[in-house]
Structure 1
Amino acid sequence: MATILTGRRILLPGNPEPRPATITIDASGKIIAVDDAAHARNAVSDHNITQWIDAQDDIVLPGLVDAHVHLNEPGRTDWEGFWTGTRAAAAGGVTCVVDMPLNSIPPTTTVANLDLKRQAARGQCFTDVAFWGGVIPGNQPHLKPLVDAGVKGFKCFLIDSGVEEFPCVSESDAQHAMEILQDCPTVLLFHAEFDSSPASQSEQQGPSTDYSTFLASRPQRFEEDAISLITKLQKECPLLRCHIVHLSAASALPLIRAAKSSGLKLTVETCFHYLCLSADEIPSGHPEYKCCPAIRHADNRELLWEALLDGTIDCVVSDHSPCVAELKKLDEGDIMGAWGGISSLGLGFSLLWTEGSKRGVSLAQIIEWPTKKTAEHAGLSGSKGELKVGYDGDFVIWDPSAEFTVTKESLQFKNKLSPYEGMTLRGRVKQTYVRGNLVYDQNNGFATAPVGCML
Structure 2
Amino acid sequence: MKYDLIIKEGNVVFRDDVKKVDIAIKNGKISAIAETIEGEADQIVNASGQYVMPGMIDTHVHICEPGRTEWEGFVTGTKALAAGGTTSYVDMPLNALPATVDRKSLQLKRDVAKGKNYVDYAFYGGLVPGNLDQLEELSDEGVVAYKCFMATCGSDMPDDFTNVDDYTLYTGMKRLAELGHMLSIHAENALITDRMAESMLAKGKTTAADYVASRPVFTEVDAVKRALFLAKETGCKLHFVHISTEKAVEEIIKARNEGQDVTVESCPHYFTITTAQFEELGPVAKCSPPLRDEVEQAKLWNKLIEGKIDMLTSDHSPCPPEMKYSATNNIFEVWGGITGCQNNVDLMFDEAVLKRNVPVADFVRMISYNPAQRFHLPMKGEIAVTKDADIILVDPNQSYVVQKEDLYYRHQHSPYIGRKINCRVTKTFVRGNLVFDVNQGIVGEPVGEFVAYNKKAKATAQ
Q: TM-score range by the shorter chain?
A: over 0.9
The whole-number CA distance in structure 1 between the counterparts of 2:180 and 2:386 is 22
The whole-number CA distance in structure 1 between the counterparts of 2:9 and 2:142 is 39
- Give matches, 1:433-448, under 5 Å: 433-448=429-444
Query: Which of the residues 188, 207, 212 maps onto 1:210?
Result: 207
CA contact (8 A) 1:20 1:38 kept: no
The whole-number CA distance in structure 2 between the counterparts of 1:332 and 1:387 is 51
* Deviation digits for residues 375-422 of structure 1 (CA, Å, limit 9, x no counterpart): 222221x21111111210010122112111111111111111111111
Which one is further off, 415-424 or 54-63? 54-63
TM-score by length of 1: 0.93
The whole-number CA distance in structure 2 between the counterparts of 1:181 and 1:227 is 18
Partner of 1:236: 233
CA contact (8 A) 1:97 1:127 kept: yes
The whole-number CA distance in structure 2 between the counterparts of 1:450 and 1:280 is 40
- Give matches, 1:58-207, under 5 Å: 58-164=50-156, 165-197=160-192, 198-204=194-200
CA contact (8 A) 1:209 1:285 kept: no
**Partner SS, residue 401 of structure 1:** coil
Query: Which of the residues 318, 322, 329 maps onto 2:318?
Result: 322
Partner of 1:282: 278
TM-score by length of 2: 0.92
CA contact (8 A) 1:208 1:335 kept: no
The whole-number CA distance in structure 2 between the counterparts of 1:14 and 1:166 is 37
CA contact (8 A) 1:287 1:334 kept: no
- Alpha-carbon distance change, 403 to 285 in structure 1, aligned in 2, over 3 angstroms: closer
The whole-number CA distance in structure 2 between the counterparts of 1:348 and 1:208 is 33
The whole-number CA distance in structure 1 between the counterparts of 2:327 and 2:36 is 54
Question: Match of 2:23, as an amino acid?
Answer: I
CA contact (8 A) 1:208 1:336 kept: no
Question: Match of 1:20, as an amino acid?
Answer: K
The whole-number CA distance in structure 2 between the counterparts of 1:98 and 1:423 is 27
Partner of 1:308: 304
Task: Kindly indicate whether residue 331 of structure 2 is the aligned counterpart of residue 335 of structure 1.
Answer: yes
Question: Match of 2:376, as an amino acid?
Answer: G
* Deviation digits for residues 20-76 of structure 1 (CA, Å, limit 9, x no counterpart): 21222222x1122222x134xxx42x5xx3333332332211111110000000000
Partner of 2:368: 371
- Alpha-carbon distance change, 162 to 218 in structure 1, aligned in 2, over 3 angstroms: farther
The whole-number CA distance in structure 2 between the counterparts of 1:209 and 1:179 is 40
Which one is further off, 305-314 or 76-85? 305-314
Question: Match of 1:237, as an amino acid?
Answer: T
Query: Which of the residues 409, 412, 422 maps onto 1:416?
Result: 412
Runs of 4+ in 1 over 4 A off after TM superposition: 205-209
The RMSD of aligned alpha carbons is: 1.7
Query: Which of the residues 385, 390, 397 maps onto 2:386?
Result: 390
1:330, CA displacement in angstroms? Answer: 5.5
- Alpha-carbon distance change, 415 to 209 in structure 1, aligned in 2, over 3 angstroms: farther
1:10, CA displacement in angstroms? Answer: 3.1
**Partner SS, residue 372 of structure 1:** helix
The whole-number CA distance in structure 2 between the counterparts of 1:294 and 1:438 is 36
Question: Match of 2:81, as an amino acid?
Answer: A
Structure 2 unaligned spans of 5+ = 452-462
Which one is further off, 324-333 or 68-77? 324-333
Query: Which of the residues 27, 35, 38 maps onto 2:36?
Result: 38
Which one is further off, 83-92 or 355-364? 355-364
* Deviation digits for residues 73-105 of structure 1 (CA, Å, limit 9, x no counterpart): 000001100000000000011001110000000
User: How many equivalent pairs are there?
Assistant: 444
1:224, CA displacement in angstroms? Answer: 1.1
Greater per-residue helix proportion: 2
1:284, CA displacement in angstroms? Answer: 5.0
Which one is further off, 141-150 or 206-215? 206-215
